[in-house]
Structure 1
Amino acid sequence: MYDVVTKYGTPYIINHLRGDISTMSKLTTYEETKDKDLQVFTKANNQPAMLINEVSKELCQCITKMTEKGVKRWQIILDPGLGFAKNLDQNLDIIRELPLFKKYSQLNTATGEFLSFEHIPLLLGPSRKRFIGKITGKDIASDRVNGTSAAVTACIGYGSDIVRIHDYKEMKDACLMADAIYKGIR
């Protein structure tokens, strides 16, 4: 896929995921990994920050593979993967810690490769996710429109540049209001 992205110069969304659809719900344990060659500039002084760092490290592995294939930084859109190998609290932590995620940077001292997420567009896809259903008591995904609206507003408020949604007509107003309130865009 990276060869195609390079050839056509298209944007590419890197979505964080562990395992696959059948295994990801069992892969929600995040622990601080140590790599003597990796210097992370975002300090993980609590569980949410550690989660952000670990997700970010895994995304950086993808970015390294992409750039080795010729994908340019301007083509990359980051998605920390709400609902993908994350439990309810981890999904909420990712939304709350978006400012930290957007500032993530690391240096591989062995290779000299420096990676930073600053100025890379950030996408979140909270639409109809199971964590919204657990909080609101809505088992049917299509009944989660109001909860999705609140989540979309929070995503924009905490710094998401792009939101992925299902219910365009309903979410348009939430996006317009969140952009006006949090970003001064109207």
Structure 2
Amino acid sequence: MGILNVTPDSFSDGGAFIRRDQAVMRAHQIWEGGGDIIDIGAESTRPGTTAVSESEEMERLLPVVEAVLEAVPLPVSIDTYKARVMRAAWSLGAGLMNDVTALRGDPDSLAMLAELRIPACLMHMRGTPSNMQAHTHYTDLLGEVQDFFRERISACEAAGIQREQLLLDPGLGFAKDLQGNCLLLQRLEDLQSLGLPILVGASRKSMIGTLSGVTVAAQRLGGSIAAALWAVARGAQILRVHDVAETVQAIRVWTGIQEQGTAALLRTTP
């Protein structure tokens, strides 16, 4: 999942792809780099950010969604929690809603997704992006995340959303400190017990900077790839990344080593 932010204030690439031509160029970059999904967001969810209005979000988002879907043959997901934004993007052809509030941020989103049969990614977060980093203390982080997902899956099913339309994102950096982020990555396999695909978004985040000592977000490629490979090894099915081509190359080599080594072992085993 390649990231396309049409925001002026995202933590890593704010302002880089606001214009329609810039966004289309980025979409081509994701496609040509081997990406499978383009995730378009028009409201930053970095720590401490403030929400934008529905009208402003749609003004930023919808022309880009239309242009991207015309330009490249990839499915588009929408990083939003607002039901009317979801509906408008769906009407243009968007196929997945990536909601950091796990369909809690708008009282209309559950019914609307059920009506339109739109798949959704549910992310774990406490609070809101503006105050989430004041909520990083947990008695049992992994257990609370699992319980949260069980409750949200039940709420979705009760609203009429099919279970197989859901993805889960543990929400690295969203109401998590460094140790919490690392614990979730270490125990990612435990989330597989919920029986739904897992999306991981660690790309360029502050945890990468803290662990690597690299302060500039755009320079955290090596650390982001390390986190991506760790997540794939523990069951992540989708990676939300900035550096698509480099991550795809790393995964192809990593999986190729496993496949070719296994083939060689089978060939030489009597």
* TM-score, shorter chain, exceeding 0.5: yes
The 1:178–1:72 alpha-carbon spacing in structure 2 relative to 1, beyond 3 Å, is: farther
Match of 1:5 in 2: 113
Match of 1:60 in 2: 150
Confirm or deny: 8 A CA contact 1:152 1:174 kept in the other structure: no
TM-score (norm 2): 0.53
Instruction: Give 1:148's match in structure 2, choosing from 219, 224, 236.
Output: 224
Higher mean Cα deviation, 66-75 or 172-181?
172-181
Confirm or deny: 8 A CA contact 1:77 1:123 kept in the other structure: yes
Are 1:127 and 2:217 counterparts?
no
**3-state DSSP of counterpart to 1:64:** helix
**3-state DSSP of counterpart to 2:168:** strand
Counterpart of 2:207, as a letter, is F
Note the residue ranges of structure 2 that are not aligned, 5 or more in a row: 1-108, 261-270
Structure 1, residues 83-140: CA drift from partner, whole Å, max 9, x if none? 111111111111110111212xxxxxxxxxxxxx12x101110111100000111111
Counterpart-to-counterpart distance in 2, 1:18 and 1:67: 22
In the TM superposition, 1:31-70 aligns within 5 A as: 31=139, 50-70=140-160
Confirm or deny: 8 A CA contact 1:157 1:178 kept in the other structure: no
Counterpart-to-counterpart distance in 2, 1:182 and 1:5: 39
Counterpart-to-counterpart distance in 1, 2:187 and 2:143: 11
Match of 1:17 in 2: 125
**3-state DSSP of counterpart to 2:146:** helix
Match of 1:47 in 2: none
The 1:12–1:66 alpha-carbon spacing in structure 2 relative to 1, beyond 3 Å, is: same
Are 1:175 and 2:265 counterparts?
no
Are 1:87 and 2:177 counterparts?
yes
Confirm or deny: 8 A CA contact 1:16 1:84 kept in the other structure: yes
Counterpart-to-counterpart distance in 2, 1:181 and 1:123: 23
| Number of residue equivalences | 152
- Rg: which structure is higher? 2
Q: Structure 1 vs Structure 2: percent identity of aligned residues?
A: 32
The 1:168–1:53 alpha-carbon spacing in structure 2 relative to 1, beyond 3 Å, is: same
Instruction: Give 1:166's match in structure 2, choosing from 242, 267, 270.
Output: 242
Counterpart of 2:250, as a letter, is A
Of structures 1 and 2, the one scoring higher in RCO (CA 8 A, sep 6+) is: 1
Residue 173 of structure 1: how far off its partner (Å) = 0.8
The 1:95–1:5 alpha-carbon spacing in structure 2 relative to 1, beyond 3 Å, is: same
Structure 1, residues 17-58: CA drift from partner, whole Å, max 9, x if none? 111112111101111xxxxxxxxxxxxxxxxxx321111111
Residue 177 of structure 1: how far off its partner (Å) = 2.9
After TM superposition, what 4+ stretches of structure 1 lie above 4 angstroms from structure 2?
Answer: 181-184
Residue 182 of structure 1: how far off its partner (Å) = 6.3
Residue 73 of structure 1: how far off its partner (Å) = 0.6
Residue 183 of structure 1: how far off its partner (Å) = 8.1
Residue 11 of structure 1: how far off its partner (Å) = 1.5
**3-state DSSP of counterpart to 2:143:** helix
Counterpart-to-counterpart distance in 2, 1:6 and 1:72: 8
Confirm or deny: 8 A CA contact 1:28 1:87 kept in the other structure: yes
